[in-house]
Amino acid sequence: MAVGGRAESVSGPSGPVVFAYDGSELAGFAVERAGVQLAPDSAALVVCVWQPGDVGFFPVGKRQLRAAAANEVREAAEEAAAHGASLAERAGFRARSLAVEAAPTWRGIVDAAEACDADLIVIGSHQRTGVMGHLLGSVAAATVMHSPTSVLVVHRRS
């Protein structure tokens, strides 16, 4: 049953919702859609995974990074995670942020979800296809494959 455009929850989650947030428009869209679909006022942890030398997210604002400077990448990841948490709060969640150093990216997402005993991971899928999609892999697909936690994959309609 829907209440105010949201699905009515039979019982509240025991752990937070973990948002995999890379600073992209799609990641923001996933947060927004989850706010419509999930119970209001749920706890959330917004996770931005980073790696020195291989920036796997989009810096907030006009920040320029030297990927070799790990402290700059970590700080930018913390800013991106905080930005994602502000989006989650606007979507109705009680959110906090976390920047995680991990490789591959899916490992950081899965480990963060396990560490906080999450009930759900929310991740946007860029839906890359063809050779580039095969070569780059899919963080969403790997997260689904490796996570013992349920994963909600959000797709943007064309």
**CA angle 76-81-86, nearest 5°?**
125
For residue 8, is pLDDT > 50?
A: no
Q: What is the pLDDT of residues 56-92, one digit of tens each?
A: 677 777 776 665 577 888 999 999 999 999 999 999 9
State whether CATH 3.40.50.720 applies to domain 24-126+146-154: no
Domain layout of the chain by residue ranges: 24-126+146-154
pLDDT of residue 83: 98
Q: How confident is the model at residue 135 (pLDDT cuts 50, 70, 90)?
A: very low
pTM (two decimals): 0.80
**Higher pLDDT among residues 154 and 9, named by residue:** 154
Distance CA 17, CA 94 (A): 10
Average pLDDT, the chain: 83
pLDDT of residue 55: 58
Q: Which whole number is the average pLDDT over 29-42?
A: 92
